């Protein structure tokens, strides 16, 4: 692996992957639409080349491909644009990978597995998605598998960490950083997984470095499960957070969805806060090595300052 293009390099997991690659002295093309944000993140990094572009435009994707032998597809777009744009983006990425004979690593999620169960989900678990977004994820996977491109899929739970502004915990962290009224989405008594972006990046980069990892799917679980109430209590004790936290459940989101398409799309994903999908990392640890496991305490202590920085700006 000599040079990697990261598509979606300005997002939470994307920027963490770029930085992890650079720390391993790998040359990286950081691809995203916002040049200003890319420059703020990577302008001083000698291993990173900034490439502004839209993944819906094959020509713009192709501009950054000189010398690239691995593409990491980490792009996330608003839920309301999934149906219209995700397939187009994936077909563009696959076509470019095929043209340049590049391997492909895909940052995926758990939606394709459908509802959780009492047992941890393995890569061999059947996929029965019951949501529109879960079915879309499986369709994208089929596009890649039928393309002939050498690819791997990494399945992650919800992210949290610096720059992860589309995460379920985002609105809680904004309130904590401001010490203002905050919101927790879903049932705060249910324990589920959230993975720290830097852990996800380390696992992802390690996978794409391994030739034998391609042609397979890999679960990347979090350190453990944790409830919303436990997170809120941590914020009160460790961050001195004193304000009220409102619980946002299905009824409120459904109402707000009449005014905001992206909020409307969140409603069908609330099953993850009721019957959580908890991943098994046994396959990764058997064939790849130990999973990065930052404790929730350490991960959140490192995350909140990034929200404070954003507020000050």
Is 60 exceeded by the pLDDT of residue 312?
no
Q: In the chain, where are the structural domains located?
A: 3-162+194-223+277-294
Closest by alpha carbon to 60, among 29, 101, 84, 102?
A: 29
User: What are the two backbone dihedrals, phi and then psi, of residue 143, each rounded to the nearest 5 degrees?
Assistant: -60, -45
Bridge-based pairing of strands 225-227 and 191-196 is antiparallel
Specify the pTM. Answer: 0.94
pLDDT category at 259 given cuts 50, 70, 90 is: low
Residue 10, CA distances (Å) to 163, 166, 210, 277, 304 in order: 8, 12, 25, 27, 18
pLDDT at residue number 251 = 67
Strands (E), the chain: 3-7, 27-32, 48-52, 70-73, 103-109, 151-156, 158-160, 182-185, 191-196, 217-219, 225-227, 245-248
pLDDT at residue number 38 = 96
- CATH fold of 3-162+194-223+277-294 reads Rossmann fold (3.40.50)
Entry field: residues in the chain = 313
pLDDT category at 167 given cuts 50, 70, 90 is: confident
* Between 282 and 249, residue with greater pLDDT: 282
pLDDT category at 177 given cuts 50, 70, 90 is: very high
pLDDT at residue number 224 = 95
Is 50 exceeded by the pLDDT of residue 127?
yes
């Amino acid at each position: 692996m000599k040079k990697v293009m990261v598509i979606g390099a300005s997002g939470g997991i994307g920027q963490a992957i770029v930085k992890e690659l650079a720390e391993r002295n790998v040359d990286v093309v950081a691809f995203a639409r916002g040049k200003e944000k890319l420059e703020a993140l990577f302008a001083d990094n000698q291993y990173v080349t900034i490439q502004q572009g839209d993944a819906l435009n094959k020509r713009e994707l192709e501009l950054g491909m000189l010398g690239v032998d691995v593409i990491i597809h980490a792009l996330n777009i608003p839920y309301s644009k999934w149906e219209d744009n995700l397939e187009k983006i994936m077909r563009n990425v696959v076509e470019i990978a095929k043209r340049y004979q590049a391997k492909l690593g895909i940052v995926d999620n758990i939606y394709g597995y459908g509802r959780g169960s009492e047992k941890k989900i393995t890569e061999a678990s059947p996929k029965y998605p019951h949501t529109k977004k879960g079915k879309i994820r499986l369709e994208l996977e089929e596009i890649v598998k039928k393309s002939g491109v050498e690819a791997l899929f990494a399945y992650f739970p919800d992210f949290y960490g610096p720059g992860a502004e589309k995460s379920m915990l985002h609105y809680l962290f904004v309130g904590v950083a401001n010490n203002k009224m905050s919101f927790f989405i879903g049932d705060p008594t249910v324990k589920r997984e959230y993975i720290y972006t830097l852990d996800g990046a380390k696992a992802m980069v390690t996978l794409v470095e391994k030739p034998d990892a391609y042609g397979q799917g890999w679960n990347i679980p979090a350190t453990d499960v944790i409830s919303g109430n436990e997170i809120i209590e941590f914020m009160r004790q460790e961050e001195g957070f004193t304000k009220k936290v409102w619980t946002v459940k299905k009824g409120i989101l459904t109402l707000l969805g009449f005014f905001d398409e992206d909020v409307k799309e969140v409603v069908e994903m609330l099953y993850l806060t009721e019957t959580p999908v908890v991943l098994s990392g046994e396959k990764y640890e058997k064939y790849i090595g130990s999973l990065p496991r930052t404790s929730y305490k350490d991960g959140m202590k490192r995350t909140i300052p990034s929200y404070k920085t954003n507020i000050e700006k």
